Structure 1
Amino acid sequence: MPSSRLLALLGLLMLCKGQEETGSGESCDNFTDLNLSHCFMGTSLYVRLLLYTRSNLDCGREINHRRLASQPLLNLSRPTAFVIHGYRPTGAPPIWINHIVHLLAEQEDLNVIVVDWNKGAANLNYFTAVTYTREAAYNLTGFIMKMEEEGASLSSIHLIGVSLGAHLAGFIGANLKGKIGRITGLDPAGPMFTSATPEERLDPTDAMFVDVLHTDMDSFGLRGAHGHIDFYANGGVDQPGCPKTIFAGKSYFVCDHQRSVFLYLCSLNRTCSLTGYPCSSYSDFLEGRCLQCEAFRPASCPLLGYDLGPWRETLLRLRQTKAFFSTTATLPYRKMSYRVDMVTWNQYLRWGVVYIRLHSGRNFTEARTDHQLLRFEQYTSTRLLAQFDEELQHVHKISMRISTGNVIGPRYKIRLLRIRFTPLERPLRPLMCRFDIIMEENMEVAFRPLPCNSRL
């Protein structure tokens, strides 16, 4: 492993390569915009750092790497977030750059530095871009060491890496012996990293705290767990609303992978809340086995996003945590989740799936627990997770159907001694209950929910 002094020298040499002084005028420095011709010919690595603060959110300033003091907007007493993009096969700037800059600035008073390594990432040969991640990491390592020399604290630095940029962030963290405050990996790239050792990819030792979001593990994303907490949206594969056939064109290839960025942007918006439920697998989560979050009391289940402070100590103690959640296909992505507990009393053993509708006036939303067959037998407690695409403020009626697949012969009755609905993301809302319901298989039954401390 190269010494710290050598790393700094290598980094500064690469940072200076092709660098031009930023003028004192009012012109803005924009992200490098390339096209397919550059990608066909191939690009050589050239890293630019664009600084944004609350005073210049719409006008980036390219940092002079050799003289940090010459950039008056760069206040090293503030926390600094580096945003690192990934592979750019078309050479176009990421469409989400301006959004993430503004949303990060809303979290706290930050230096937001956009790492523009489009020259290097824009190559039709993906393997060339992968090779450049190591060089770019030395580049940024030298710059961050210069920041530290000028008074910045490594613990106040947050690297946010997308796809290939997540591994680039990990390499920087490893170069700095894991002293970086935090690394966030948004669907770390899978190709060329699937069989990599921890030293060859992002891993929890690369920073004091590492959080990862997975959305495309069966294609462009990396399988497994690689942070102190790994969030898996919809199990980490096949995001709702993304095309299922190649006839959709480019979107078929990139939609699942890009969803990680849009979910993270959504989480930075204070009106969007995505709760992750610690669990061993997505199937266990869907079956309602992981909805308590006892390890995180008195805090609730961890939320995806920028502020993981309430859960950080617990997550560091647990070392590696997997957290699962489901989303809708569109903004604000959040589903309304209920834990449904039923006590059944029926003479014959039946297997089936449950369909639940919540009604509010003429509006309704439906949840289908058709990923598993539930067992209904005499005096048995059954728990399931019901997730609804819409949030209804006042539920006036609930309708249910238990589908057993029985299409011939008599319909058997299923008696529910009690059914209780517990809202998971809205703990201040009252629990809804109903007692002693007779259901006929494959037939819908509607009822008015009651407070759980009352009986008919």
Structure 2
Amino acid sequence: MWRLYFFISLICLVRSDTDETCPSFTKLSFHSAVVGTGLDVRLMVYTWRNRTCPQIVNSVNLGNLNVAKKTTFVIHGFRPTGSAPVWMEALVQGLLSVEDMNVVVVDWNRGATTVIYSSATGKTKKVATVLKDFIDRMLVEGASLDNIYMIGVSLGAHIAGFVGKMFDGQLGRITGLDPAGPSYNGKPPEERLDSRDAQFVDVIHSDTDAMGYREPLGNIDFYPNGGLDQPGCPQTIFGGIAAYFKCDHQRSVYLYLSSLRENCSITAYPCDSYRNYRNGQCVTCGTLHKESCPLLGYYADNWKDYLREKDPPMTKAFFDTAEKEPYCIYHYFVDIIIWNKNVRRGSITIKLRDKAGDTTESKINHEPSTFQKYQQVSLLARFNKDLDKVASISLVFSTGNIIGPKYKLRILRMKLRSLAHPDRPQLCRYDLVLMENVETFFQPIHCSKLQL
């Protein structure tokens, strides 16, 4: 009889670990991080049929995973406190909301949870081997490498790269969300994520001066706000120690999440440098060239056909964001021609207002502009709101001088044109005089067709 009790107890123990009623991501404590954890990789698959309650799967049992559909793997990174990623649930549900696919959460928290960073990095290739075995089983069941998509966060980005190398770069796509920099910066391609690890590799760099990788790693590398400090994140530890260290790094995830929502499509602009982008020198895609501008996040692969025409097929793209969700910024060109006899240098602040009274403002002051007589200066303005019909505009001109004479900027013509909606009527104002540091309001008119 005791053998029967022992057998039943053993079955219960096994079921409690592998056949949970509704499995969840492994949650550990800071104590686990201090003492260290051995590697244990759990794969949990979500589908349209089981969107909130995943199945535990492995290379022996694929569960409800339909190999005929796209399969997206989500791989987290270093977990120094043992907690579950706060963004994981939103990412899973966001992916399922845009396409009928399999979403496989790669839970390697037992292994990633440690205060010793090198201990976690030392396990990344072992995680990749587990994923290779799982994909091999999928292939046996009829899956296609073209339908394999990997989203790797921090260390997870390099894990995805290692998996891609094991399949000779034939995976459909890899997205790296701020790939880890420490221990990887300067490493050769075989020791990190590389553009040749999949048919298409896109990367978002949001913390290149600390936790993230500095140099380009993909076919297209996105640098929000230049890839450095992100708006809305603490600039000192007094803004919160945890947020100070991880906010910039995690922003890549939240920017990706914004692409899964209908109310925000972030456009990026291919460019050699952030400075040139800010100066409006790299925003002609979609207007002067045949290709459209690349979109950040889930739909970035819409640009891969254009990249195939490049040699090598690699591009850096820059854009700015708002401080909080949904992060979208709307770009306009402000074209100004002056009739001052003398050259003027300074910055412009522009404010837009619609008939309902909603307003949005852009300070174009990152680099003083030089205004010369009868020469057009095109300034790139960024607004947090997209006003469909602009009823009034205000301008402020400033030289930045605190002490000294006040200058006038005599405008022969000002033109406002939307980059996001080039089909909208362009708005103009003629014969305008700006007194320095004085806000001047006016109603725009549709530009004369001769002036376009």
TM norm structure 2 = 0.92
* Distance (whole Å) between structure 1 residues aligned to residue 406 and residue 349 of structure 2: 17
Q: How many residues align?
A: 435
Query: Is the 1:22–1:63 contact (alpha carbons within 8 Å) kept by the matching residues of 2?
Result: no
Query: Is the 2:172–2:200 contact (alpha carbons within 8 Å) kept by the matching residues of 1?
Result: yes
The answer on 1:76 being equivalent to 2:67 is yes
Alignment equivalent of 2:189, drawn from 181, 188, 198: 198
The answer on 1:342 being equivalent to 2:332 is no
The equivalent residue for 2:274 is 282
Query: Is the 2:200–2:301 contact (alpha carbons within 8 Å) kept by the matching residues of 1?
Result: no
State the secondary structure of the residue aligned to 2:252: helix
After TM superposition, the structure 1 stretch with the greater mean CA deviation from structure 2, 334-343 or 433-442, is 433-442
The equivalent residue for 1:368 is 363
State the secondary structure of the residue aligned to 1:430: coil
* Distance (whole Å) between structure 2 residues aligned to residue 183 and residue 415 of structure 1: 52
Alignment equivalent of 2:386, drawn from 388, 391, 408: 391
* Distance (whole Å) between structure 2 residues aligned to residue 25 and residue 202 of structure 1: 34
Query: Is the 1:209–1:316 contact (alpha carbons within 8 Å) kept by the matching residues of 2?
Result: no
* Distance (whole Å) between structure 2 residues aligned to residue 133 and residue 65 of structure 1: 18
State the secondary structure of the residue aligned to 2:390: coil
The equivalent residue for 2:447 is 452
The answer on 1:357 being equivalent to 2:351 is yes
Distance 1:294 1:118, change over 3 A: same
Distance 1:21 1:109, change over 3 A: farther
The answer on 1:437 being equivalent to 2:432 is yes
Cα shift at 1:299: 4.6
Q: How does 1:143-292 map to 2 (within 5 A)?
A: 143-247=134-238, 248-292=240-284
Cα shift at 1:176: 1.0
* Distance (whole Å) between structure 2 residues aligned to residue 117 and residue 295 of structure 1: 45
State the secondary structure of the residue aligned to 1:242: coil
AA aligned to 1:287 is N
Cα shift at 1:288: 0.6
State the secondary structure of the residue aligned to 2:322: coil
Q: How does 1:303-322 map to 2 (within 5 A)?
A: 303-318=295-310, 319-322=313-316
The equivalent residue for 1:53 is 47
State the secondary structure of the residue aligned to 2:400: coil
After TM superposition, the structure 1 stretch with the greater mean CA deviation from structure 2, 361-370 or 267-276, is 361-370
The equivalent residue for 1:136 is 127
The equivalent residue for 2:396 is 401
The equivalent residue for 2:3 is none
After TM superposition, the structure 1 stretch with the greater mean CA deviation from structure 2, 363-372 or 210-219, is 363-372
The equivalent residue for 2:413 is 418
Distance 1:430 1:205, change over 3 A: same
State the secondary structure of the residue aligned to 2:138: helix
Distance 1:21 1:427, change over 3 A: farther
Distance 1:163 1:295, change over 3 A: farther
The equivalent residue for 1:427 is 422
Cα shift at 1:408: 5.0
The equivalent residue for 1:9 is none
Cα shift at 1:63: 0.4
* Distance (whole Å) between structure 2 residues aligned to residue 24 and residue 348 of structure 1: 78
Cα shift at 1:62: 0.2
Query: Is the 1:53–1:109 contact (alpha carbons within 8 Å) kept by the matching residues of 2?
Result: yes
State the secondary structure of the residue aligned to 1:196: coil
AA aligned to 2:275 is S
The equivalent residue for 2:4 is none
* Distance (whole Å) between structure 2 residues aligned to residue 34 and residue 47 of structure 1: 14
1:367-406 deviations in whole A, cap 9, x for unaligned?
A: 1111101001211111111011223333211111110134
CA RMSD of aligned residues (A): 2.1
The equivalent residue for 1:301 is 293
* Distance (whole Å) between structure 2 residues aligned to residue 80 and residue 399 of structure 1: 50
Cα shift at 1:25: 7.4
Alignment equivalent of 2:101, drawn from 110, 123, 134: 110
State the secondary structure of the residue aligned to 1:355: strand
The equivalent residue for 1:100 is 91
The equivalent residue for 1:11 is none
The answer on 1:63 being equivalent to 2:28 is no
Query: Is the 1:136–1:168 contact (alpha carbons within 8 Å) kept by the matching residues of 2?
Result: yes
* Distance (whole Å) between structure 2 residues aligned to residue 107 and residue 358 of structure 1: 34
AA aligned to 2:397 is I
State the secondary structure of the residue aligned to 1:40: helix
AA aligned to 1:283 is R
After TM superposition, the structure 1 stretch with the greater mean CA deviation from structure 2, 175-184 or 340-349, is 340-349
Cα shift at 1:300: 2.3
State the secondary structure of the residue aligned to 1:257: helix
Query: Is the 1:22–1:62 contact (alpha carbons within 8 Å) kept by the matching residues of 2?
Result: no
Task: Tell me the percent identity.
Answer: 47
